Amino acid sequence: MNTLIFRTMAPAIAIAMILFSILVLLRGHNAPGGGFIAGLIAAAAIAIYAMAFGVGAARRRLRINPLAVSGAGACIAALSGLPSLVIEAPFLTGLWLPGDLFGTPGLFDIGVYLTVLGAVSSIAMALEDESEEGS
């Protein structure tokens, strides 16, 4: 599976997938898509990179522990509900900035994106790490 063609194309594929995941994330609070599917796409990009170059190289490229990303995402998603409590609305009520450019649903989607990205990347790299040790 670890061929020259795969190692050559993996970085380009991973970059394209990360960019596509950001596109899916940004259009998600107004249309189909959003944080969950975008996080899965980004995690798949990381898994492809780890399959091509090894888990150690992928961890070095990330520079941050995926579980820390997941934890930060969960905090962001939870904190996105607090602004609604300030105006005495139910928790996680969607609030928008003037002009409807961005709001708490977008912040929630970013939190979900980071949570899914970190959790699924951690699982994928742990599984790949086990398969490398078994070989």
Q: Which pLDDT value is given to residue 124? A: 92
Residue 38 scores a pLDDT above 70 = yes
Q: Give the mean model confidence (pLDDT) for residues 1-21.
A: 93
The total of structural domains in the chain comes to: 1
- Domain hosting 85: range is 4-134
Choice between 29 and 16, residue whose per-residue pLDDT is larger? 16
Ramachandran bin of 92, using left for φ above 0, alpha for ψ from -120 to 50, beta for the remaining angles? left
Q: Give the mean model confidence (pLDDT) for residues 7-36.
A: 89
Q: Are 106 and 100 in contact (CB under 8 A)?
A: no
Q: Which pLDDT value is given to residue 105? A: 86
- Distance between CA atoms of residues 56 and 47, nearest Å: 12
